[in-house]
Amino acid sequence: MSATPVSLGRELLPKLVTTLREGYGLAALRADAVAGLTVAIVALPLAMALAIASGTTPDKGLITAVVAGFLISVLGGSRVQIGGPTGAFVVVVVGVIHQHGYDGLVLATLMAGLILVAAALLRLGQWIKYIPEPVVTGFTTGIAVIIFSSQVKDLLGLSMGAVPADFIDKWPAFWAARDSIGVAAILGLGALALILALRRWLPKVPGFLVAVVLGSILAFALGLPVETIGSRFGGIPDHLPMPTLPVITVERLTTLLPAALTIAFLAGVESLLSAVVADGMTGRRHRPNAELLAQGVANTASALVGGLPATGAIARTVTNIRSGARSPVSGMLHAVFLLLFMLAFSGLAAYVPLAVLAAVLVVVAWNMSDAGRFLHQLRTAPISDRVVLLTTFILTIVIDLTVAIEVGVVMAALLFMHRMSETVAVSDAGEQPGLTDGLPAGVALYRIDGPMFFGAARKLLDVLDRTGGAPRVLILDMGGVPMLDATGADALATLVARADRRGAHVVMAAVQRQPLSVLHGLGLRHRKGAVIFAGDRTRAKAEAAHLLTKGAGGRVGSSPASGAD
């Protein structure tokens, strides 16, 4: 059903507008300010660490968190969603930068933003939930493994050249550099232990920020020979860049389209997953299409200021809720606080050891992997889902995230269609007691159960071959067929034509509304030949007896007594 402008407008209405209409007071502002500050403290080291893991400078992560984070809260369909750079993008961002440079990433992000806006206007938000769980779990866990592998060098302070891009090639290179493990490893592993300890015993303390601050102070005070943000990247700018457009050509648009589609897919999936988690914690419902629109605008704006792709961040959203957030204002203030941190303390960021940021990303990777869910699906899911899970996981690691998603979705769709076709049953009434009562000689009755789509059409075409003694009338009880597609309808038409060539009639009984509509569109209901519609099985038997009585001159079309309509 097509959307009217009014209904679409309601679906795209930001939750901020709803909040302000309901009334927004000082108490709510205080609660949102506390939550926003708390999330900003958590997001500050994360934004820098994720940018470095993505193969770019830490300021790009901060810019993204400020610009995209603000717009996602202003325009989003969730009251408490927090947006910014996330681990989900690391793999695709690294790949795009490696192949097309940072300007290529900016253009791909811009394209992804426009794709998301189009998806929102087409009301595709509700369709994201149909992405198969094994595909999401597979590529998410694969991304987590890649993030972890990308941080081994900095976590241990290995002295080596460029880390190989291929996942399998990384590990021999790490092993070859094992003798260079030094004081940076102590700092990185110590930061990792501190973060995990704070999460375990003092969960309200921002472990990431504490580890970054203490690690920086320790490295500076003791003069430790470790690599820092300043030594590798220089300083962090104390201002936001002016918007600029990347170089746009038809060739670049075509080349970057697969990457843009992947970014848009990841942004849509993760933001809506995060919104669902928030709904479960708050008891409210998000607007999926408004959320997609916000993601689209935010990614477009992030690209214009040279930022990274952004989406809703589950961990930061959960922190926002647990900190007492009341409305989207908390997310807006989180972005404002991040901007203030960037303006006031950008010079201090140069002293942050990369080993400590690597520890932050190792924890992010572990959280992202959701190893418990992955192992649970691997143990308990049907074999077909396990195949999809492992295929997506392995392809993400050894080949490419885009390929992994494409193959995973196609595999899941094919396996789903196979399972659905297996649920379709075409059964002989003679095998079911009571169904043949009152059935005249020369009449065969078959019951069809399940959706009759292209994957199951073959079963229908086998019906005539299964009937013994060349029946003069074939009754198809279709009361159990909720859905009929074009291929299934064509199979029915073929069955009718075959029966007609044999001098037999086909009576379709209890056809439901959707299949009846499809058959009507096909013209089968009004075809002059050997098909008749009956309202139920009893009427179909009576119609069959009538046809047998009339012999070869039997009527065609709907019986006056059928009540098929």
**Structure confidence by residue, pLDDT tens digits, 106-151:** 999 999 999 999 999 999 888 877 788 899 899 889 999 999 999 9
Beta strand ranges found along 261-402 (DSSP E): 311-312
What pLDDT digit, counting tens, does each position of 389-436 carry?
999 999 999 988 888 988 998 999 888 888 877 777 777 765 565 566
Give how far Cα 223 sits from Cα of 181, 183, 216, 219, 388, Å: 18, 11, 10, 6, 50
pTM across the whole model = 0.80
pLDDT in the model for residue 4: 67
Please count the other Cβ atoms lying within 10 Å of the Cβ belonging to residue 153.
Answer: 24
SS3 of residue 329 by DSSP: helix
List pLDDT tens digits, range 165-181.
788 899 999 999 999 99
Does the pLDDT of residue 527 top 60, yes or no?
no
For the ranges 186-195, 368-377, 447-456, 481-490, the lowest mean pLDDT is seen at: 447-456
- At 488, the pLDDT band (50, 70, 90 cuts) reads confident
Q: Is the predicted pLDDT of residue 564 greater than 60, yes or no?
A: no
Q: In what order do the strands lie in the sheet with 473-480?
A: 425-428, 443-449, 473-480, 505-509, 531-534
Decide if pLDDT at 559 tops 50: no
Q: What is the mean pLDDT of residues 232-254?
A: 90
Of 92-96, 129-133, 271-275, 507-511, the range with the lowest mean pLDDT is 129-133
**pLDDT score at 505:** 87
Q: How confident is the model at residue 44 (pLDDT cuts 50, 70, 90)?
A: very high
**DSSP letters along 417-486, please?**
HHHHHHH-EEEEGGGSTTTTTTPPTTEEEEEEES-B-TTTHHHHHTHHHH-SS--SEEEEEEEE---B-H
How many other CB atoms are there within 10 angstroms of residue 383's CB atom? 8
**Residue 463: predicted pLDDT:** 66
Return the pLDDT at 466: 65
Q: Which of 409, 410, 445 is nearest to 430 (CA)?
A: 445
Greater pLDDT, 257 or 433: 257
Q: Is the pLDDT of residue 462 over 80?
A: no
> For residue 421, what pLDDT is reported?
76
Q: Is the pLDDT of residue 561 over 60?
A: no
Pairing state of beta strands 473-480 and 311-312? unpaired
Which residue spans of the chain are classified as CATH 3.30.750.24?
425-553
Rounded Cα distance, 493 and 514, in Å: 16
Structure confidence at residue 102 (pLDDT)? 95
* pLDDT of res. 312: 94
**Is the pLDDT at 502 greater than 90, yes or no?**
no
CATH class entry, domain 425-553: alpha beta
pLDDT reported for residue 560: 39
Q: Read off the DSSP letter of residue 312.
A: E
Higher local confidence (pLDDT), 388 or 560:
388
